[in-house]
Amino acid sequence: MSAVPADVPLTLEALRERTASGEHFRYLYFWGHRPRTDGRASAACFSQWYDAPFVVCGRR
């Protein structure tokens, strides 16, 4: 498995080429949307149902 350097453009074609050449990637799977009980960040924050309030023009 390898990390993608920050200066390497990420394109679908580049991913296909790297996969075809035998390179393996680590994928992040997530499904829960509830925050951890200890308050630490987790992959749950990527869920479309994760509660993440924000304010625009003074309105929440």
* Domain ranges, ordered by start, for the chain: 7-60
Burial 37-59 (b: 16+ CB within 10 A, else e): eeeeeeebeeeeeeeeeeeeeee
Of the two residues 4 and 47, the one the predictor is more confident about is: 47
Is the pLDDT at 5 greater than 80? The verdict is no
- pLDDT on residue 1: 56
Is the pLDDT at 4 greater than 80? The verdict is no
- pLDDT on residue 56: 95
pLDDT tens-digit series, residues 17-50: 999 999 998 888 877 888 889 989 888 888 888 8
